[in-house]
Chains A and B, each alone.
Chain A
């Protein structure tokens, strides 16, 4: 069975801290790994990674994929209260258009 596991499930830090969120996967036919941010509404797309070792960056957020060890990390530097959200990791599969989602990491940034 295809599986995506995120850790930690919950994280509370202070504004200005740097956080690292983890996503590991066991799937039959990997094609891509995606990160989404979910605040109070729908998940919004952050990154899609397909190649190992190539960092994707957007402002204070960055992500990298390791296809040998089957994991990805999402880094957020100089966190702000607006970064508080659930961060979802999902894996896209070869031969199917669907995504397999992890259970999410609930990140809380305290002022």
Chain B
């Protein structure tokens, strides 16, 4: 069974450009999470969805960040405009309410560098 899939794996962009990160959760999982990880702040939850509906976006740093989940198998995290302080590894994770409901499975991450 395929795990969580993220793309791209690496992204290098210039300040002010729009960045779109993509995620495909594990099939059958009804929760999807976006995290950001930096050396300074560790792993931070940005937003999570249940059945494609955003439940908690309190971790989204500012209006430059937006996330969507148009269907059960796809989500995007967009940063517009990007800034150097957005440089981090962005992880997507998914989980299911059935059995081990708190266990989240992480994708490989997207390493974003904003110059």
A residues at B contact (CB < 8 Å): 31-32, 34, 41-45, 48, 88, 92, 96-104
Contact = CB atoms under 8 A, between A and B. Distances in A.
A25 to B, nearest CB: 14
Given A96-B56, A97-B48, A34 B102 contact: yes
B105 interface: yes
A97 B96 CA distance: 10
Contact of B56 (A88, A98, A102): A98
Q: What size tier do the contact residues of chain B reach?
A: 20 to 34
A96 B47 CA distance: 12
Q: B interface, by DSSP: helix, strand, loop or mixed?
A: strand
B50 interface: yes
Nearest to A102: B42
Q: A interface, by DSSP: helix, strand, loop or mixed?
A: strand
Contact of A41 (B33, B104, B108): B108
Given A32-B102, A34-B102, A101 B43 contact: yes
B106 A48 contact: no
A56 to B, nearest CB: 12
Interface string B23-63: 00000000101000000001101001010000110000000
B75 interface: no
B33 A48 contact: no
B17 interface: no
Interface string B95-113: 1010011111111110000
B43 A45 contact: no
A45 B103 contact: yes
A42 B106 contact: yes
B102 A99 contact: yes
